[in-house]
Chains A and B, each alone.
Chain A
């Protein structure tokens, strides 16, 4: 005790709320699901790669398993054939979990108002942040991620205490 306190000096006391401390942890190290659908996934890869370096925001680690991920970035056009798969991936993720709809297609169907494309990922899963662009620039995606961080900072752990309802598709 004596040695530690003499080395560290007088640290004082930090007071914070549990919500703030937990949200700080949640935003500082999000694990996105390693998941790409179409063109936007390539820009997502650019965001992770050397120039934009997503690890600055604690997100360099993509988990290939939805069980270990807490952020689903729907990067690309969502087809009717793929929709049940994405819904299942979302259901498999453990709460708390968030969704970013990256690109026009994932946000609203984009230019494809036709038989094949789901008109926005929010038709099958709840979306937290929409990022516009076809494809969005890496800066735009970064902005989307930071917006999500802001949103998370306003959340309370009580919000996630109730079990999330799952829907079978």
Chain B
């Protein structure tokens, strides 16, 4: 919906005359007569979490219609992947949902593995689970910090980022990069855990639950917080499912749907954890679900550390798809050939389609991959939770005050990179 401005005219209203026509059917008739107000929020607005634009129709302070306008961060990542061989596309997937890079990596790698039928060693799966749960904490910490800032609680942000910094240090230890690690690769992970990683993670898991207690002490029973969030942005379970809401936002409405439980991948079925659900489907319940999820993630990681064998493969040794380790190159001619083949042209994948979905911190992240028989995909598509959540904003915000809108946008945890890609 492009709002065109008319050229060179002195009448200020003439500028909008054409565009009002375009809004017919999207806003109520009252907006066209000027009875209600049309207000533009974003794409530069501190609490739209990036570059989301919302066109609001307001009756006083009440939101009648909320029209999200997306695409301000459309990067063409899916198109770019079509020109890369399968392994080389992994770093691009990091940058979609930039708060949960490893989840994107995993969704993509699982799709590639399914397409070519590549097995992942069990140890690598456990390593993936550890990384995925760290990613979940990482993402939820940013969500909590920014959500609290939006509602006026500044200090939570500083505490959350203190803990997040520890996680980033560990990501850096694993992959050499703080955020965009590209640590997952088709067939496993890039390299083994460095020796100092697990002690640091165990130490972190030791004190992290008490830090979550701190956040809760600041917010959970805080009367201002409860007033701002309880009964706000309610979405009923049926409606939420109809609108494709998933992840913690759906569980806040009381639907215990978590792909880690219902369609396990990467060996999640071996872990013992609960799926927290809310009951009212309001902003407060979504907040509580995420807080409890952080505690569950800690439990999963602790189990994973126990189950992780000390030695073993971290990546498949199928040399048709996985390059040989550096050390082999000096000894084996075959390794050199594989290395050369894989890094110059990559591996071929059949002309088939696959779809894989995982539970990212935000919800269901799906990856559709269509091979060509050659070394590049014909089409990649990501079904991302933020897109669904933004499209459900009109339902959640209807009839609420404009100040509640900020709480609602924060509570569904949208990342525009995830939505627009």
A: residues with CB less than 8 A from B are 34-39, 41-43, 45-46, 49-51, 64, 76-77, 79, 81-82, 85, 89, 111-112, 114-117, 134-135, 137
> Could you say which residues of chain A place their CB within 8 Å of the CB of B417?
38-39
Interface residue B312 (Cβ < 8 Å from any Cβ of A): no
> Could you say which residues of chain A place their CB within 8 Å of the CB of B157?
49
Give the contacts of B41-83 with A (CB-CB under 8 A).
43-46, 50-51, 71-77, 79-80
Indicate if the CB atoms of B44 and A50 lie closer than 8 Å: no
A36 to B51: give the CA distance in the assembly, Å. 8
Closest to A80 in B: B74
> Could you say which residues of chain A place their CB within 8 Å of the CB of B161?
45-46, 49-51
> Could you say which residues of chain B place their CB within 8 Å of the CB of A37?
50-51, 73
Given contacts A45-B142, A116-B76, A117-B76, 14 further A-B contacts (CB under 8 A): A38-B417, A39-B180, A42-B99, A46-B165, A46-B168, A49-B161, A50-B159, A51-B165, A64-B46, A81-B71, A81-B72, A114-B75, A114-B76, A134-B95
- Nearest Cβ in chain B — how far from A145, in angstroms? 18
- Nearest Cβ in chain B — how far from A68, in angstroms? 13
Indicate if the CB atoms of A135 and B180 lie closer than 8 Å: yes
Indicate if the CB atoms of A77 and B179 lie closer than 8 Å: no
- Nearest Cβ in chain B — how far from A95, in angstroms? 19
> Could you say which residues of chain B place their CB within 8 Å of the CB of A46?
161, 164-165, 168
> Could you say which residues of chain B place their CB within 8 Å of the CB of A112?
75-77, 80
> Could you say which residues of chain B place their CB within 8 Å of the CB of A117?
75-76
Indicate if the CB atoms of A38 and B46 lie closer than 8 Å: no
User: Provided the pairs A50-B159, A51-B161, A135-B179 are in contact, do residues A111 and B91 lie with their beta carbons within 8 angstroms?
Assistant: yes
> Could you say which residues of chain A place their CB within 8 Å of the CB of B50?
36-38, 41
Q: Pick the contact of B74 from A36, A76, A81 — CB < 8 Å?
A: A81
B: residues with CB less than 8 A from A are 43-46, 50-51, 71-77, 79-80, 91-92, 95, 98-99, 142, 145-146, 157-159, 161-162, 164-165, 168, 178-180, 416-417, 420
> Could you say which residues of chain A place their CB within 8 Å of the CB of B180?
39, 134-135
Indicate if the CB atoms of A39 and B98 lie closer than 8 Å: yes
> Could you say which residues of chain B place their CB within 8 Å of the CB of A89?
44
> Could you say which residues of chain B place their CB within 8 Å of the CB of A34?
46
> Could you say which residues of chain B place their CB within 8 Å of the CB of A42?
98-99, 142, 179
Q: Determine which residue in B77, B95, B157, B417 has the highest number of CB atoms from chain A within 10 A of its CB, and name it.
A: B95
Closest to B165 in A: A51
- Nearest Cβ in chain B — how far from A105, in angstroms? 9
User: Provided the pairs A77-B73, A82-B73 are in contact, do residues A50 and B92 lie with their beta carbons within 8 angstroms?
Assistant: no
Indicate if the CB atoms of A43 and B179 lie closer than 8 Å: yes
Indicate if the CB atoms of B75 and A116 lie closer than 8 Å: yes
Indicate if the CB atoms of B95 and A39 lie closer than 8 Å: yes
User: Provided the pairs A38-B50, A64-B46 are in contact, do residues A82 and B76 lie with their beta carbons within 8 angstroms?
Assistant: no
A46 to B43: give the CA distance in the assembly, Å. 22
Indicate if the CB atoms of B162 and A51 lie closer than 8 Å: yes
> Could you say which residues of chain A place their CB within 8 Å of the CB of B44?
35, 85, 89
Indicate if the CB atoms of A50 and B73 lie closer than 8 Å: no
A41 to B45: give the CA distance in the assembly, Å. 13
Closest to A77 in B: B75
A76 to B44: give the CA distance in the assembly, Å. 13
Indicate if the CB atoms of A114 and B80 lie closer than 8 Å: yes
A82 to B70: give the CA distance in the assembly, Å. 10
Indicate if the CB atoms of B79 and A115 lie closer than 8 Å: yes
> Could you say which residues of chain A place their CB within 8 Å of the CB of B142?
42, 45
22 contacts between A and B (CB under 8 A): A37-B51, A38-B73, A38-B75, A38-B98, A38-B417, A41-B50, A46-B164, A49-B145, A49-B157, A51-B165, A64-B45, A79-B73, A79-B420, A81-B71, A82-B72, A85-B43, A85-B72, A114-B76, A115-B79, A116-B74, A117-B75, A135-B179
> Could you say which residues of chain A place their CB within 8 Å of the CB of B92?
111
A7 to B245: give the CA distance in the assembly, Å. 68
- Nearest Cβ in chain A — how far from B180, in angstroms? 6
A51 to B157: give the CA distance in the assembly, Å. 12
- Nearest Cβ in chain B — how far from A76, in angstroms? 8
> Could you say which residues of chain B place their CB within 8 Å of the CB of A79?
71-75, 420
A81 to B72: give the CA distance in the assembly, Å. 5
> Could you say which residues of chain A place their CB within 8 Å of the CB of B165?
46, 49-51
A163 to B72: give the CA distance in the assembly, Å. 31
Indicate if the CB atoms of A111 and B74 lie closer than 8 Å: no
A51 to B72: give the CA distance in the assembly, Å. 30
A82 to B159: give the CA distance in the assembly, Å. 32
A49 to B168: give the CA distance in the assembly, Å. 13
